[in-house]
Amino acid sequence: MQESTFDQYLGHELRRLAFVSGGTFKITDVKEHLMNYDRHYLNKAYAKENPKVTWNWDSFPDRMNRHVYRVVKALGGARQKIRNRWVYELRSDLLISRQKPLAVA
Protein backbone atom coordinates (compact mmCIF):
# COMPACT_ATOMS: atom_id res chain seq x y z
CA MET A 1 0.00 0.00 0.00
CA GLN A 2 1.35 3.38 -1.00
CA GLU A 3 1.56 6.14 1.57
CA SER A 4 -0.84 9.01 0.97
CA THR A 5 0.20 12.45 -0.25
CA PHE A 6 -1.16 13.96 2.96
CA ASP A 7 1.00 11.66 5.11
CA GLN A 8 4.07 12.23 2.93
CA TYR A 9 3.82 16.00 3.09
CA LEU A 10 3.02 16.07 6.81
CA GLY A 11 5.94 13.70 7.42
CA HIS A 12 8.26 15.97 5.47
CA GLU A 13 7.17 18.99 7.51
CA LEU A 14 7.52 17.07 10.80
CA ARG A 15 11.05 15.99 9.83
CA ARG A 16 11.92 19.64 9.18
CA LEU A 17 10.46 20.62 12.55
CA ALA A 18 12.36 17.82 14.32
CA PHE A 19 15.58 18.99 12.67
CA VAL A 20 15.04 22.57 13.83
CA SER A 21 13.79 21.72 17.32
CA GLY A 22 16.37 19.07 18.15
CA GLY A 23 14.06 16.07 17.88
CA THR A 24 11.22 16.90 20.29
CA PHE A 25 8.15 19.00 19.63
CA LYS A 26 4.54 19.55 20.73
CA ILE A 27 1.36 20.24 18.78
CA THR A 28 1.74 23.97 19.44
CA ASP A 29 5.15 23.79 17.75
CA VAL A 30 3.57 22.09 14.75
CA LYS A 31 0.90 24.80 14.52
CA GLU A 32 3.54 27.54 14.69
CA HIS A 33 5.84 25.79 12.20
CA LEU A 34 3.28 25.27 9.44
CA MET A 35 2.94 28.27 7.18
CA ASN A 36 -0.39 29.26 5.63
CA TYR A 37 0.62 27.65 2.34
CA ASP A 38 1.52 24.38 4.10
CA ARG A 39 -1.81 24.35 5.94
CA HIS A 40 -3.68 25.06 2.72
CA TYR A 41 -1.88 22.24 0.89
CA LEU A 42 -2.46 19.79 3.75
CA ASN A 43 -6.16 20.72 3.97
CA LYS A 44 -6.50 20.25 0.22
CA ALA A 45 -4.72 16.87 0.26
CA TYR A 46 -6.80 15.71 3.24
CA ALA A 47 -10.05 16.72 1.54
CA LYS A 48 -8.99 14.95 -1.66
CA GLU A 49 -8.20 11.72 0.20
CA ASN A 50 -11.29 11.93 2.44
CA PRO A 51 -14.03 13.49 0.28
CA LYS A 52 -16.86 12.64 2.70
CA VAL A 53 -15.22 14.46 5.62
CA THR A 54 -16.38 18.06 6.04
CA TRP A 55 -13.78 19.25 8.59
CA ASN A 56 -10.11 20.09 8.19
CA TRP A 57 -7.46 17.78 9.60
CA ASP A 58 -6.32 20.47 12.06
CA SER A 59 -9.69 21.83 13.19
CA PHE A 60 -9.37 20.37 16.71
CA PRO A 61 -6.25 19.44 18.73
CA ASP A 62 -7.35 15.81 19.23
CA ARG A 63 -7.71 15.30 15.46
CA MET A 64 -4.41 17.00 14.83
CA ASN A 65 -2.70 14.83 17.48
CA ARG A 66 -4.14 11.70 15.88
CA HIS A 67 -2.74 12.56 12.44
CA VAL A 68 0.62 13.74 13.75
CA TYR A 69 1.03 10.62 15.89
CA ARG A 70 0.20 8.33 12.95
CA VAL A 71 2.86 9.98 10.80
CA VAL A 72 5.46 10.18 13.60
CA LYS A 73 4.93 6.48 14.36
CA ALA A 74 5.35 5.62 10.67
CA LEU A 75 8.65 7.53 10.67
CA GLY A 76 9.91 5.55 13.66
CA GLY A 77 9.27 8.18 16.30
CA ALA A 78 7.34 8.08 19.56
CA ARG A 79 5.26 10.25 21.85
CA GLN A 80 4.83 10.57 25.58
CA LYS A 81 2.58 12.60 27.82
CA ILE A 82 4.41 15.25 29.86
CA ARG A 83 2.37 17.57 32.08
CA ASN A 84 -0.88 16.75 30.27
CA ARG A 85 0.58 17.45 26.80
CA TRP A 86 1.75 15.08 24.11
CA VAL A 87 5.45 15.48 23.32
CA TYR A 88 6.63 13.88 20.10
CA GLU A 89 10.13 12.55 19.58
CA LEU A 90 11.54 12.11 16.11
CA ARG A 91 15.15 11.60 15.14
CA SER A 92 16.42 14.89 13.77
CA ASP A 93 18.79 13.21 11.30
CA LEU A 94 15.87 11.82 9.29
CA LEU A 95 15.92 15.01 7.22
CA ILE A 96 19.34 14.13 5.84
CA SER A 97 18.47 11.27 3.54
CA ARG A 98 18.70 10.41 -0.13
CA GLN A 99 15.02 10.90 -0.87
CA LYS A 100 13.73 12.93 -3.76
CA PRO A 101 12.16 16.18 -2.54
CA LEU A 102 8.40 16.36 -2.62
CA ALA A 103 6.89 18.18 -5.55
CA VAL A 104 4.31 20.68 -4.42
CA ALA A 105 1.45 20.96 -6.88
List, for residues 67-78, the tens digit of each pLDDT value.
999 999 999 999
pLDDT at 100 over 70: no
State the average pLDDT over residues 15-29. Answer: 91
- Give the torsion sign (CA, 25, 29, 35, 37): positive
Query: What is the predicted pLDDT for the residue at 101?
Result: 53
Residues 35-76 have pLDDT tens digits of 888 899 999 999 999 899 888 888 888 889 999 999 999 999
Q: Which helix (H) or strand (E) holds 26?
A: strand 24-26
| Residue 67: closest CA among 51, 81, 86, 82 | 86
